[in-house]
Structure 1
């Protein structure tokens, strides 16, 4: 009799243990299901945050681009008015501004001036060598004012046919190395497709204004004149 009771007790005990295990398994399954739901929600939230982040980046890029264009328009207006004091206020404080007569920037020979030098340059009679002429190789020797009239604002760039934002619109035989020389910069190009129909566009002109960030502001580091070259 006692043996039977023991057997029955063991059977009951085993049954209870099995039920408990089954209950524990169900609880674990419920916990796992809840955790999976939480993970799914977090992943969905992460996707949404990534989407919002990309949208913010796009808005920042648009604002930055718009700000750059606005500064470039102010600079070209200063050039149009031959206002060297206004121009100087946009020049990078440490890099100064480099003047390049053609699309290929010559870092060895293209002249650079600081912001403080610009106002006095306009009235200076000193003749500088600004590079060499395309084709002949003869030295480009001008006062600042004469160089300005020939290789900076020789046409009305404030009212161009086209404006390129970090895009070189005018292209010729000379290699454009703006990205190599100004690797951390952005530029705005003011472009004329041509003037006299008989030249079929070979009389195009471009002025590229190159900027770098300084203390959160776009500052002028390069003025590149470009035209058709041999």
Structure 2
């Protein structure tokens, strides 16, 4: 009995701590998770659990960022590279990262015009290397988007992280270090197959530059995440 009571107390304390660091609300039936100012300096890994304290978050405060993310996802779902290019930051372009770890030395970056051309010219690029085997990821832009960006319908992702990393495998999550001063959304699908212990999760991070800090967001990074061995 004493041991059970102690475990309950520990669970409640852990839940209270999570509630201090993370804020949850619902947006269109999906969970919206946002880091507060105190937690913003450190990437957080969080899953909804029975012990998570759910506190009020006003989705309207992040409305411009969420609208920018929705516009990018809509373009990706329609395979509309022309529209996608109009959402890319004209000064910095957009960098594609096939797995969680952003590597500015190997990840490909496209300006808006280069992105439009890549969508039409059928050129095959080396986007990086597969985890484990190390084979080159040689694909056209549409092929890459199908396999390493919109590999799931992220418009229906059940959990959205606002400046929050929701899950991670054995790849370094360095979005904050790679994009200092920028903001990001993570669209997250938890694992569905109990036979693999939740390792079939996947996520898509969209990184945005706030142009002149006026709430106008332009896409600068697209990061694909999944469990890797």
TM-score where L is the length of structure 1: 0.70
Q: How far is 1:88 from its partner?
A: 1.2
* Map of 2:225 onto structure 1: 226
In the alignment, the residues of structure 2 paired with residue 84 and residue 141 of structure 1 have an alpha-carbon distance, to the nearest angstrom, of 19
The alignment partner of 1:123 has SS state of helix
Q: How far is 1:124 from its partner?
A: 2.4
In the alignment, the residues of structure 2 paired with residue 92 and residue 64 of structure 1 have an alpha-carbon distance, to the nearest angstrom, of 22
Q: Which runs of 5+ in 1 are unaligned?
A: 1-60
In the alignment, the residues of structure 1 paired with residue 143 and residue 72 of structure 2 have an alpha-carbon distance, to the nearest angstrom, of 19
* Map of 1:169 onto structure 2: 166
* 1:14-44 Cα distance to aligned partner (Å, 9 max, x none): xxxxxxxxxxxxxxxxxxxxxxxxxxxxxxx
Contact 1:124/1:144 (<8 A) preserved: no
* 1:127-173 Cα distance to aligned partner (Å, 9 max, x none): 11101110111111111111111101111111112110110112111
Q: Which of 152, 156, 159 is the aligned partner of 2:156?
A: 159
In the alignment, the residues of structure 1 paired with residue 120 and residue 196 of structure 2 have an alpha-carbon distance, to the nearest angstrom, of 35
Q: Which of 194, 197, 200 is the aligned partner of 1:200?
A: 197
Counterpart check, 1:210 vs 2:207 = yes
Q: How does 1:120-139 map to 2 (within 5 A)?
A: 120-139=117-136
The alignment partner of 1:93 has SS state of coil
In the alignment, the residues of structure 2 paired with residue 218 and residue 97 of structure 1 have an alpha-carbon distance, to the nearest angstrom, of 13
Structure with the bigger percentage of strand: 2
In the alignment, the residues of structure 2 paired with residue 205 and residue 76 of structure 1 have an alpha-carbon distance, to the nearest angstrom, of 15
TM-score where L is the length of structure 2: 0.71
Counterpart check, 1:142 vs 2:146 = no
In the alignment, the residues of structure 2 paired with residue 90 and residue 79 of structure 1 have an alpha-carbon distance, to the nearest angstrom, of 11
Contact 1:210/1:221 (<8 A) preserved: yes
In the alignment, the residues of structure 2 paired with residue 134 and residue 89 of structure 1 have an alpha-carbon distance, to the nearest angstrom, of 31
Q: CA RMSD in A?
A: 1.5
* Map of 1:118 onto structure 2: 115
Change (3 A) 1:62 1:204: closer
Is the radius of gyration larger for structure 1 or structure 2? 1
Counterpart check, 1:102 vs 2:73 = no
The alignment partner of 2:127 has SS state of strand
Structure with the bigger percentage of helix: 1
Q: How far is 1:64 from its partner?
A: 5.1
In the alignment, the residues of structure 1 paired with residue 179 and residue 220 of structure 2 have an alpha-carbon distance, to the nearest angstrom, of 9
Equivalenced residue count is 170
In the alignment, the residues of structure 2 paired with residue 71 and residue 224 of structure 1 have an alpha-carbon distance, to the nearest angstrom, of 16
Q: How far is 1:195 from its partner?
A: 3.4
